[in-house]
Amino acid sequence: MQKTKRQSSNLLKLIIIALLSTISLVLLFINFPLPFLPTYLKIDFSEVPALIAAILFTPMAGVVVEAIKNLLYVIFTGASDPVGVVANFAAGTLFVVPVAMFYHKFKGKKSLISGLAIGTIAMTLGMGVLNYFIILPAYGAFIGWDTMSIAVKLNTVLVGVIPFNVVKGVILAVLFIPLFIKLKPWIEQKKATIG
């Protein structure tokens, strides 16, 4: 009986993660550039389902949703830009994990708001460093630039990447807080069901 209940609980977790990953993929396609930033930097809301998974289960569940979303994106689009896919996964993970860790440690709306602020800072700083040292050089190599100058990398990070991630984090936080308040009874019910 206990084994059957555990199997049923694991199956429900898998179904919810699969559904959230699919929703995340759909939201990835609904994106828009910001008027004051480079057009290749686009805001989307695909981190929201990953946040729900990370809060409902564990931070790792959010990472799994991010991974499945990007894998599905590669499968469905052919992803002519693999560097962008890796960058999307890194940004999502850097945002979702701190939010979920902070929420699980302290619980409540205030901890969620603090977690969203910490997640925004982690994503902004992390993506700044990753872009400067790894993502921009990889993208440069991918499009055929032999070397990317320090000035170009620094300018791209300071004028594009950092402001973009700050704005994205703020938009996600403003969107997620009321959504979380609405979903909290459902999240609590699922947590009780899954155990």
| CA–CA distance, 33 with 42 (Å, rounded to integer) | 4
Domain ranges of the chain: 2-32+42-194
pLDDT at 107: 85
Task: Give the tens place of pLDDT for each residue, 68-91.
Answer: 999 999 999 987 778 999 999 999
pLDDT at 109: 85
Query: Can you say whether the dihedral through the CA atoms of 92, 120, 122, 14 is positive or negative?
Result: negative
Between helices 162-194 and 108-130, what is the axis angle to 10°?
140
Q: Which two tokens stand for residue 79?
A: 């992803």
Average pLDDT over residues 135-159: 88
Contacts of 84 (CB under 8 A, 6+ apart): 139
Average pLDDT over residues 132-158: 88
Of the pLDDT bands very low, low, confident and very high (cuts 50, 70, 90), residue 144 is: confident
pLDDT at 79: 72
pLDDT at 21: 98
Task: Give the tens place of pLDDT for each residue, 152-166.
Answer: 999 999 999 999 999
pLDDT at 1: 59
Contacts of 31 (CB under 8 A, 6+ apart): 42, 43, 44
- Helices of type H across 131-161: 136-143, 150-155
- The neighbour count for residue 58, using CB atoms within 10 Å, is 15
Task: Give the tens place of pLDDT for each residue, 26-60.
Answer: 999 999 999 988 888 999 999 999 999 999 999 99
Q: What CATH number does the domain located at 2-32+42-194 have?
A: 1.10.1760.20
Average pLDDT over residues 115-141: 95
pLDDT at 22: 97
Average pLDDT over residues 112-121: 97
Of the pLDDT bands very low, low, confident and very high (cuts 50, 70, 90), residue 195 is: low
Query: Can you say whether the dihedral through the CA atoms of 88, 89, 91, 96 is positive or negative?
Result: positive
Q: pTM for this structure?
A: 0.93
